Amino acid sequence: MDTLLSVDEKYLQVLEELYCGELPKAFRLLNEILAAEPAYARAHFQMARLQHEQFRDLRAAGYHYQQCEQIDPDFPDVYLPYLKLCNELGKHKLARTLGEKGLRVAGTDRYQLCKELARSADLRREYNEARELLNRALLHAHEPEQEKEMLEQLKTLNSKMKRDAPFVYRLEE
């Protein structure tokens, strides 16, 4: 006997299936949810995570992260994985706007967002911006290990800046 489930009940079942490692069943349920309710932001988020982390379909993951962010811009969980995906795909301009938007949303992990934004700036070789973002991440660090990690990254970044600094020749008579 098939029991008709509401979208919210199906979503809870998806979370349970993901927790148990039943990816095909979770994928099928997510497709059913999105077919019935295309504006269900959390289903888009779970589908994006599934596509990104399990199936490595980055294009589909980007689509679902984008849908989730557009439908519910105040949903804090979407910003960090979407930002990581943008960095992975080399979409640094989108990563910058997305990260700045995410920093304004309540409930986001500002430490992780600043760290990922700094990584994006580092990949673009914008070292001053990366240093500023690492300092912001240091301000949002919650644990001593995070502070230690940021200080090490700042040290590494400073050595990169020195290495890439232009060499000035001076002629003396």
The DSSP call for residue 52 is I
Q: What is the 3-state secondary structure (H, E, C) of 54-115?
A: HHCCHHHHHHHHHHHHHHCCCCHHHHHHHHHHHHHHCCHHHHHHHHHHHHCCCCCCHHHHHH
Query: How many domains is the chain built from?
Result: 1
Of 172 and 143, the structure prediction assigns the larger pLDDT to 143
The answer to whether residue 27 sits within a structural domain is no
pLDDT, tens digit, for every residue of 48-76? 999 999 999 999 999 999 999 999 999 99
Give the position of tokens 């294009």: 59
The answer to whether residue 51 sits within a structural domain is yes
* HSE-up (13 A, CA, CB side) for residue 112: 13
> pTM for the full model?
0.88
- Give residue 127's identity as a one-letter amino acid code: Y
Model confidence at 149: pLDDT above 80 = yes
The answer to whether residue 16 sits within a structural domain is no
Residues present in the chain in total: 173
The answer to whether residue 95 sits within a structural domain is yes
The answer to whether residue 70 sits within a structural domain is yes
The answer to whether residue 146 sits within a structural domain is yes
The CATH number of residue 66's host domain is: 1.25.40.10
Rounded to the nearest integer, the mean pLDDT of the chain is 93
Domain hosting residue 98, numbered range: 41-160
Q: Using an 8 Å Cβ cutoff, are 61 and 51 in contact?
A: yes
pLDDT, tens digit, for every residue of 27-52? 999 999 999 999 999 999 999 999 99
Q: pLDDT over 70 for what percent of the chain?
A: 98
Give the whole-angstrom CA distance, residue 40 versus residue 53. Answer: 20
pLDDT, tens digit, for every residue of 81-102? 999 999 999 999 999 999 999 9
Local structure of 47: helix, strand or coil: helix
- Give residue 96's identity as a one-letter amino acid code: R
User: What local confidence, expressed as pLDDT, does residue 3 receive?
Assistant: 55
